[in-house]
Amino acid sequence: MSDPISRWRIGFARLDYVRPVHWAAHSEDFGDCIILEIETANGLRGATEAIMRQKWHDTTPSDVEQTLLENILPALTKIDWRDGAGSAQALMPYRANGFACALADLALWDLRAAASEQPLWKLLGGKSASVPVSFTLTRTDPAIMAREAATMHDRYGFKAFKVKTGQGIAIDRRAIAEIRSALGPDAVIMADSNRAHDLEEVSAMSRMLADAGVVWFEDPCAYTADGSFVAAQAQSVLPVLVDNQSRSLEAAKTFIGLGAQGLSVKTMKTGISESLEIVELARSAGANIAVGISASGGAGAVHTLSLAAAIPPEQTCLVCEETFFLYLRDDIMKPSLSVSGGFIEMSGHPFVAPRIDWRRMDRVIDGRI
């Protein structure tokens, strides 16, 4: 094997937000960031970053660190990292820790981009360096959500928004109405209730959203890949986007078999390799894809945006959601990404590794083979 992976670094940092962020199951005013960098014997480097949330990823930083050090990093030294399929196969035994596997997969893709001397978005088949993006409005008082929507529209030109619903139909109605009033009739809005509603509420909730011009309804209620999903989709007058319960290619296959109209892929659930397989599966079935928010900093966003650039616009439910880096007081990628006119220009961010600010790390583990 020529030029094997021979060195690695793992960094940890706490990143403060400009304001508290309210997710469905918890609130936070900082994120615990993990950086993974791998390097070949000839000095080629690939890296990625993610913010870890135990409630999202079903694992802890110590578990991720252990899986990387004891299993994944030793496995990477034995593979041909240029072989995408072979690399993905080498990671499969550790799929139980999907977060750690996704980190490794993204770092490998960053390494391949560096080796190819072309941006990752182009390596993946993207046609343009300008990626349209949306902004996610998290749960809070409807008036505050509407003000933030107007601010983000005016400041960054966002034309598409995901609205976190699920505060009860009366509050959700107010939120959607005030956001629509603030943005005007042309803004594209998707709703995501994070499974907050009962099945019996889905019909009325979806009709209210449809009347307000919402285009998709993500995870309206609790369901699994069985008859409960079929029932949920049947209750909604809007197309349902599957997110939480689709965390692998196998799960995606089951949902497609049940008639799913749209699937969300997230780089911190299925990396790039498995996400591309899900995208192709959806394409062949005539289903749509949303590139969802992994809520990472700029370095992780580069990889999510590169994946989004490779998906034909006609197959997407909504433009790429990964703009969480705007919440950070200080990003660990320099220079960070910027949004203008509702687009992120990727031409200045071909790959991640050279742009990581390692001085920003609170702790670094450095190893060689």
For 63-206, list the strands marked E by DSSP: 130-132, 135-137, 160-164, 188-192
| 369 pLDDT above the threshold of 70 | no
- In the prediction, which pLDDT does 59 show? 85
Is the fold of 5-118+358-368 the same as that of 122-353? Answer: no
For residues 206 and 219, give the distance between their C-alpha atoms in angstroms, rounded to a whole number: 11
Q: Enumerate long-range contacts of 168-174, CB under 8 Å, 24 or more apart.
A: 169/197, 169/201, 169/204, 169/205, 169/208, 171/142, 172/205, 172/208, 173/208, 174/142
pLDDT (average), residues 33-43: 96
What is the DSSP pairing of strand 27-40 with strand 45-52? Answer: antiparallel
- In the prediction, which pLDDT does 56 show? 87
For residues 26 and 39, give the distance between their C-alpha atoms in angstroms, rounded to a whole number: 36
pLDDT (average), residues 125-139: 95
pLDDT (average), residues 34-56: 94
pLDDT (average), residues 102-125: 96
pLDDT (average), residues 347-355: 88
Q: How many CB atoms lie within 10 A of CB 184?
A: 9
| 311 pLDDT above the threshold of 90 | yes
- In the prediction, which pLDDT does 51 show? 95
**What are the Cα distances from residue 307, in Å, to 70, 151, 199, 257, 320?**
29, 27, 33, 24, 9
Residue ranges of domains in the chain: 5-118+358-368, 122-353
- In the prediction, which pLDDT does 324 show? 95
Mean of pLDDT over the chain:
95
Query: Which of 7-11, 75-79, 165-169 has the lowest average pLDDT?
Result: 75-79
Q: Kindly report, residue by residue over 236-274, the tens digit of the pLDDT.
A: 999 999 999 999 999 999 999 999 999 999 999 999 999
- In the prediction, which pLDDT does 212 show? 96
- In the prediction, which pLDDT does 39 show? 97
For residues 138 and 322, give the distance between their C-alpha atoms in angstroms, rounded to a whole number: 14
Q: Could you give the residue ranges of the DSSP H alpha helices within 117-216?
A: 120-123, 142-156, 169-183, 199-211
The distance in angstroms from the start CA to the end CA of the chain is 15
Q: Kindly report, residue by residue over 222-238, the tens digit of the pLDDT.
A: 999 999 999 999 999 99
Kindly report the CATH number that applies to the domain delimited by 122-353: 3.20.20.120
- In the prediction, which pLDDT does 32 show? 93
- In the prediction, which pLDDT does 24 show? 83
| 213 pLDDT above the threshold of 90 | yes
Count of CA atoms in the C-beta half-sphere (13 A) of 293: 25
Q: Could you give the residue ranges of the DSSP H alpha helices within 218-262?
A: 227-235, 249-257
Contact 187, 180 (CB under 8 A): yes
Question: 276: helix, coil or strand?
Answer: helix
For residues 125 and 307, give the distance between their C-alpha atoms in angstroms, rounded to a whole number: 9
The radius of gyration of the chain's CA atoms, rounded to the nearest angstrom, is 20
Q: Identify the residue with better confidence: 94 or 202.
A: 202
| 172 pLDDT above the threshold of 70 | yes
- In the prediction, which pLDDT does 1 show? 61
Kindly report the CATH number that applies to the domain delimited by 5-118+358-368: 3.30.390.10
pLDDT (average), residues 210-233: 97
For residues 43 and 114, give the distance between their C-alpha atoms in angstroms, rounded to a whole number: 11
Q: Kindly report, residue by residue over 63-92, the tens digit of the pLDDT.
A: 999 999 999 999 999 999 999 888 988 899
